Structure 1
Amino acid sequence: MSKQIKQRVQTLFKLNGLQLSQEAAVYLTGLLAPVKDVERNGWIDKILSQVEKQKLKTAVIDIKIMEQAISECTAEEGGDENTDTFNIISGFEVPRYTFSAERKKYLKDDMMGRHKPLLLPPAAEKNNIYHDRFVMVSQRTARHDLFSGTGSTGSEKKYKLKPVEFLLGTTNRMDDIIVLGMLTQITYGSYYLEDPTGVVKLDLSKTKFHTGLFTENCFVLAEGWYDDEVFHVIALGFPPAEASSTTRGHFGSTNFFGGPAETTVKISEKLSLAEQNNTDAMFVFLSDVWLDEPEVQARLRKLFAGYSEMPPTAFIFFGNFLNNSSSGTVYNNSLKDHLKLLGEMISYHPSLAEQSQFLFVPGPSDPSSPNIFPRSPLPQHLTAELRNLVPTSRFLTNPARIQYCTQHIVLFREDIVTKMCRNAIYFPESGDIPTHFAQTIACQGHLAPLPLNTAPVYWDFDRSLYLYPLPDLVVIADKFEPFTAEHLECKVINPGSFQRQDYSFKTYIPSSRKVEDSQIPGEEDEEMG
């Protein structure tokens, strides 16, 4: 057994360009031997990461370097055990990792020589949005069974991806070609496929579209034949998504999601046990909570009264928070007053005000920063009175992230389903829209795979919209009808507009990973019941 562990350790270090001395290999093997198989790879990745952080003068790792790395790794692990079960990650604090083609792993941007994120970066940074997305999708696709030839069937490689420059470099007709690239519309009415090597014009007149919502600037796998400088596409699909567990199998314990933990909380036994034992934990999601509507106020009072005896872990309210079409000072003063009224309704139930978190994500019409993602939280001068009445209230960016025990939850308030349907180059003829949407964002690894003029993003903060590795739950607060969909164990839900959808909302129970549809009845409904 020790021999197998030693070979495994030496192989992993060699893959990262490092060589263990005999003494260091024996020392590390001895420490890893008592560790459970399921945890061993995570420890190796953490130790390897600590080794790489040291100033190495040679690729040979001796026992002194190994002892220091293990000491630092153990100290970090001790700190991680104190990780809170509930953490909120701002859209401006999402970690930035860049894929290193040489080392076949993701490294922090400072290790790749990239600058710290800026709201107004140099113009050249705009290209990095799509380049980084392409690299994320392409490295994932290249190791998929269909393209790597390393699947469980043991069959030889079935498909081979070709770059655009391969097409552009020939004058002969080529059949059975598959290209990974981004859909673009360089001239009106004409679509092209673009990758870092070039651009080729597409003929989509006889294309069969697979499941998904195909929009400009999304990444696709195009299959067809090339002739006369045109790529004739016979089938168009998305690059295959990857389950979160598969991603961790390749990149170890790297914390892509964010939060205080140095390594991903997915490998924490302490948090996993807390998650399973807390069967009463619950998240309540409501969208378009129009606080200026008297009927909304009445239903919220019923909601709070109903949950007062068993307070949920968190209530998450998505804007818009007013149905009033006014703007400026009048709108702001009205919002401030109605947020105070909401605080009074909550504080009437001390159990909720003390035990539940109240989270607020701004909507498109709410006062905040410009409508560019990620958006800043609601201004503090409008929320001060609510925060005084309810100290557990938090005002989030849009999008934002929640880490609850070992689970990752992404919150996004945008009519993104509606926008993607409106901007689709081909509208699906079969299947339901939620299924198409869930598969699209999972395969793209992004919340808004649309042109920047349709879904503006701060260039250096595009990572705030990444869905890679796939989270456990994505909450899309859209005016589209409520839905629950799932792709590769990633649940995608939409609570729908609160008042427009008969005061319905969604609840999520982390211990069982169940999503439930709920509704607040009115007086008429209660009388009929």
Structure 2
Amino acid sequence: MSSKMRNKVQKKFNMRGYKLKMEALTEILGFIGRFPDAEEEALDLLLDELHNVSLKSSILDKEPVQRVVALLLEAEAAAEESPTTSGHGSAASASALRIIDAFDFPKFRYDAIKKLFHKYSGKLPIYGDAPAKVTLYRDRFMLLFQRLSRDPHFSRPVFDSDMSDYGSFQISPIQSLVGQRGKRWVMGLISQLEDGHFYLEDLTAAVEVDLSNARITTGFFVENTIVLAEGEMLMDGIFQVKTCGFPPLEDREKSLAMLAGLDFFGGGSLTKEEMVRLAELERGAVNDMFVILSDVWLDHEETMEKLEIILNGYANENVVPSLFVFMGNFSSHPCNLSFSSYSSIRSNFGRLGKMIADHQRLKEHSRFLFIPGPDDIGPSHALPRCSLPKYIIEEFQSHIPNAVFMSNPCRIRFYTQEIVFLREDMLYKMRRSCLMPPLTEETSDPFEHLVATIVHQSHLCPLPLSIQPIIWNFDHCLHLYPTPQTLMQIVLGDRSEQKAFKYTGVTCFNPGSFSNDFTFVAYRPCSQEVELSAV
């Protein structure tokens, strides 16, 4: 193998965050040497599959590489034995789909001095200490502040340029408001430090605010949201807010350029050449489709009957869906301390597994992803939630061994497209926690207000921790930066009807509650087309 290929292998693995020992490099070169006309594709496939393997370290030795190579060669042999028909999904599509658990998301912190992000490499305990809670808010604030600092309306003109030529508004630290007169722009987090008294906090200080006469923008303004406010200090030390809105968005390409190749999403960094190649493959994946269902109550007979109809329908199509996503809750009763029928949930999953296995084409050519809901079995109601326990899913996996059980939230990379899944009753909680009625000039649809809030906040759940607990050390799992192309914001169907909405280029939708009104969504990632469906 040439030194050029050896260097290319090491470079690609370095970009994905791996370091190769000599024996691992030898094993990789031996594998791609089997495909003299498709070395690049073989290497990409190996990297994709390696990402799904549980690794003890980012320094790779021979053993994990050998394991993945053996699986790929076995799959190749199986493909040669069974001829491919036009009704089956392509191998390229299968390898293009990468599912990422929340507890595997990389964590980055912003250095305000060097003005760059650096990856956090330490071990994150589930139970954080007191400083971890402070860091949670600091990281959220800095994520939006560094984005705002590049906005031409809020950045200082260079040298001696006239600010009026740029329409710039300077952001004042809250600490500097004392003794100031006239209008000022500040950026801060809304908090309630005293009962009935609201404050804006930044990294320098906190100031009590009067929001009673504030003119607001689209979205839900709740505690913990970070806002830009224009106003002036009153004699009694209260900041009278005249205008209040969320930090402006930044073009995704501009954010990616600033990150300089850092992998915020968790699917591995891609070179420009890889992005171009994958984009072309994505445009050609016209037959790929994801079917998403939420609130699949396995103990509800009518739900199972309707699910059987859906499986029968897709099994008889010329091309079966690439992916089925089943979102919780998976039981019609909350799995709390009074719930004692865990064995019945286990048997219900076994029944679902047998139902899917009876549709041979779906079993062989579709993938199945399961994401727990807020009332499913788990150690707590805090986000992110871990995947369903092994005891519950054992019977199901005996029928469908390649099914994937992930955390809530979780992420998917399909070729170049980044997709985020969250299953939480967000709309209901946001509306109850709203500090002031949302603006109705642009839209009166609550779902559109919800989408605007989470996209501008770059966070899936900007609610007070008292309303929706979050594991302090894993708050980064809920960040949305850079903004993904497709955000699947899932809420309880009995709280919010089935919806699809595109906001600033981000496709967002709610599939509805399958067990209540039998609605679901068919999503075509190639065209970002959302088909609102029902049975």
TM-score for both structures, normalised by structure 1: 0.79
2:149 alignment partner AA: A
Task: Map Cα deviations across residues 265-318 of structure 1 (whole Å, 9 max, x no partner).
Answer: 995223222211111111111111111111111111110011113211111111
Residue aligning to 2:110: 99
Moved more, 269-278 or 507-516: 269-278
Does the alignment pair 1:287 with 2:302?
Answer: no
**Which of 255, 268, 282 in structure 2 is aligned with 1:247?**
255
Q: What is the distance in 2 between the residues matched to 1:418 and 1:393?
A: 31
Q: 2:518 aligns with which of 491, 503, 527?
A: 503
Aligned to 1:380: 390
1:324: Cα distance to partner?
A: 3.4
Change (3 A) 1:76 1:250: farther
Which of these residues, 171, 175, 178, is aligned with residue 165 of structure 1?
Answer: 175
| Alignment CA distance shift 1:329-1:481 (3 Å) | closer
Whether the 8 Å contact between 1:354 and 1:392 is mirrored in structure 2 is no
1:422 to 420, 432, 443: 432
Total equivalences in the alignment: 445
State whether residues 97 and 412 of structure 2, in contact with CA within 8 Å, keep that contact through their aligned partners in structure 1.
yes
Deviation of the 1:393 alpha carbon: 1.2
Deviation at 1:249, TM superposition (A): 2.4
User: 1: distance between equivalents of 2:220 and 2:96?
Assistant: 36
After TM superposition, list the pairs within 5 Å mapping 1:466-477 onto structure 2: 466-477=479-490
Is 2:359 the counterpart of 1:349? yes
Q: Give runs of aligned pairs for residues 25-44 of structure 1, distance below 5 A.
A: none
Partner of 1:321: 330
Query: What one-letter code is carried by the residue in structure 1 that aligns with 2:222?
Result: T
**Equivalent residue number for residue 332 of structure 1:** 342
Match of 1:305 in 2: 312
Distance 1:101 1:326 in 2: 44
Residue identity opposite 1:188 in structure 2: D
Maintained 8 Å contact 1:474/1:493: yes
Match of 1:436 among 430, 449, 458: 449
Alignment pair present for 1:453 and 2:466: yes
- Secondary structure of 2:183's match? strand
Report the equivalent of 1:192: 199
CA contact (8 A) 1:256 1:264 kept: no
CA contact (8 A) 1:283 1:312 kept: yes
Question: Post-superposition shift, 1:379?
Answer: 0.7
Structure 2 equivalent of residue 526 of structure 1: none
Matches within 5 A, 1:64-75: none
Aligned to 1:403: 413
Give the corresponding residue for 1:179.
186
Report SS of the residue matched to 1:128: helix
How much has 1:437 moved relative to structure 2?
1.0
Q: Secondary structure at the match of 1:385?
A: helix
Report matched runs for 1:69-88 at 5 Å: 80=44, 82-83=47-48, 84-88=95-99
Q: Secondary structure at the match of 2:189?
A: strand
> Percent identity, aligned pairs only?
35
Distance 1:106 1:266, change over 3 A: farther
Deviations 1:132-151 (A, max 9, x none): 00000001011112112679
Alignment check: 8 A CA contact 1:292 1:324 kept: no
> 1:159 and 1:407 mapped to 2: Cα distance?
35
Structure 2 CA distance for aligned equivalents of residues 266 and 155 of structure 1 = 39
Conserved? CA contact 1:203–1:233, under 8 Å: yes
Question: Equivalent residue of 2:113, what SS?
Answer: coil
Q: Could you tell me which amino acid in structure 1 is paired with residue 218 of structure 2?
A: T
Distance 1:499 1:78 in 2: 43
Deviations, residues 61-109 of structure 1 (Å, cap 9, x unaligned):
xxxxxxxxxxxxxx99995575341111111111111112232221112
Q: Residues 254-293 of structure 1: matches in 2 within 5 Å?
A: 254-259=262-267, 261-263=268-270, 268-293=275-300
RMSD after superposition: 2.8
Matched, 1:485 2:501: yes
In the aligned structure 1, how far is the partner of 2:213 from the partner of 2:137?
A: 27
CA deviation map 1:5-35 (0-9, x unaligned)? xxxxxxxxxxxxxxxxxxxxxxxxxxxxxxx
SS of the equivalent of 2:467 reads coil
For the 8 Å contact 1:238–1:444, the answer to whether it is kept is yes
Asked if structure 1 preserves the Cα contact closer than 8 Å seen for 2:264 and 2:482, the reply is yes
Which stretches in structure 2 are left out of the alignment for 5+ residues?
1-7, 20-38, 49-94
SS at the partner of 1:214?
Answer: coil
Correspondence 1:150-161 to 2 at 5 A: 155-161=165-171
Retained in 2: the 8 A contact 1:225–1:233? yes
Match of 2:403 among 393, 412, 416: 393
1:206 shift after superposition: 1.1
Whole-angstrom CA distance in 1 between matches of 2:195 and 2:484:
36
Q: Is the 8 A contact 2:219 2:439 kept in 1?
A: no
Measured in 1, the distance between the counterparts of 2:460 and 2:321 equals 27
Distance in 1 between the 2:420 and 2:410 partners? 6
1:204 corresponding residue in structure 2: 211
The counterpart of 1:122, out of the listed 126, 129, 133, is: 129
1:461 maps to a residue whose letter is F
